[in-house]
Amino acid sequence: MKCNLTKVVIIGAGAVGATTAFSLVVKGVAAEVALIDINAQKAQGEIWDIQHSMDFQSRNVRVTAGEYADCADADIVVITASAPMNGERSRLELLAKTEGIMRRIVPQVMQSGFDGVFIVVSNPVDIMTYLVRELSGFPKNRVIGTGTVLETARLKQAIGQIMDMDLRGIDAYVMGEHGDSMMVPWSHVRAGGKPFVEILADNPARYAGVRLTQLVERVKSAGNDVMQAKGNTQYGIAGAVTGIVSAILRDENKIFAVSALLEGEYGVFGVYCGVPALINRNGVAEIGEFNLTAEERGQFERSAAVLREHIGLLGRG
C-alpha cells in the first residue's frame, strides 16, 4: 500500500526560510519539511534547532537539511533566497542581484524532476515570480508569489486596531505591486459586513483622525519600520507562506492576495502582481475580479505598469 505524504522544500535558510520551516512544523501542515541553503552548515543548524522542538509539537514532522534532489517528490518548493537589502530604497532595486540567484536555483530544482507548485517569496517578488515561471515552464497556476498577502494582513491589523475588532470580521485586500505602488480598493473593504468608508462617514466624531491615505502609507512603510527596528522581517511573511502552503496541501479553496499571472483580468496582460485568488491543491484555481472604481482601476493599472517596466529589465543584469 502506498501512503502519499505531504512534503515542502524551502530554498533559503535565512530568517524568512528558517522561520517558515518552523511555522510549518508548529502548524503541522506537512509531513516533511526540507531546508536547502548554499551555506549547508547554516541549514543544518536550523534543522537541528527545529528538531529539538519536536517533542513539544502537535505532529512529528520529519525535518531535514536537504539537497536539490529532495525537490523530486516535493508537493511545494518555497523559494526565499534573495539578495539582502543593503542600502536599497526599494525592493525593485534588488532585481539584478536576485535574478542571478533565481537563475541558479530554478534549473537545479527542475533537474530534480519537481512537478509541484512553486511559491516565490524572494524580492522583488512579483518580478521574480514571473522569472520562475519563465525558467520552469510551469503553467501559471503552479507558480505563485506571496504578492500582497502580507500587506493585506497589515491593513486588516490596522483597521482592527482602529475599530477594536477581531481581524476575522474584516474583509480587505491590498492589490498590485509588493512595494511602493501597491493600492487598496477601499470600495471593497468591509468591517463586520459594512463598507469601511461608510463606517467612517457615519461616525465622524469617533473616527475623526482616520485618513485612508495615511492608512495606505502605514501599510506601505510597515516592512521598512520592522527592518529599521530589528534588521529583518520574518514572522509575518512566514505566517503568510504557511497560510498559502496550508491552502494548497489541504485543498482549502481559500482566498489570498497572491502574486498571480494576469492574462486579461483587470485589463492587464503578462504581469504577475497581487490580486485576490482562490488557492487550492492546484495552486491558483481562479483570480477574483473586483468591480473597481475608475480611480482604483487607474491606481491598479499604474502599479501593473511599474511591474511591466521592470519585467523588461530581466536578462540585462
Side-by-side strand order, sheet with 190-191: 170-171, 190-191, 194-195
The answer to whether the CB of 20 falls within 8 A of the CB of 241 is: yes
- 310 tagged catalytic: no
The answer to whether the CB of 74 falls within 8 A of the CB of 7 is: yes
- How far apart (Å, rounded) are the C-alpha atoms in residues 69 and 55? 28
C-alpha closest to that of 53 among 77, 14, 19: 19
Could you identify the residue written with the cell 543544518? 44
- How far apart (Å, rounded) are the C-alpha atoms in residues 152 and 308? 22
Q: Which long-range CB contacts under 8 A does 101-109 form with residues at least 24 apart?
A: 102/128, 102/131, 102/132, 102/135, 103/131, 103/135, 105/11, 105/79, 105/81, 106/79, 106/131, 106/132, 106/135, 106/136, 107/135, 108/68, 109/11, 109/68, 109/71, 109/77, 109/136
Q: Which of these is catalytic: 52, 178, 188, 310?
A: 178
Q: Which long-range CB contacts under 8 A does 313-316 form with residues at least 24 apart?
A: 313/95, 313/96, 314/95, 314/99, 314/127, 314/130, 314/131, 314/134, 315/99, 316/96
H-helix or E-strand spanning residue 284: strand 283-287
C-alpha cell at 51: 528538531
Cis peptide before 124 (omega within 30 of 0): yes
Q: Strand 143-145 to strand 117-120: parallel, antiparallel, or no bridges (unpaired)?
A: parallel
Residues with catalytic function: 178
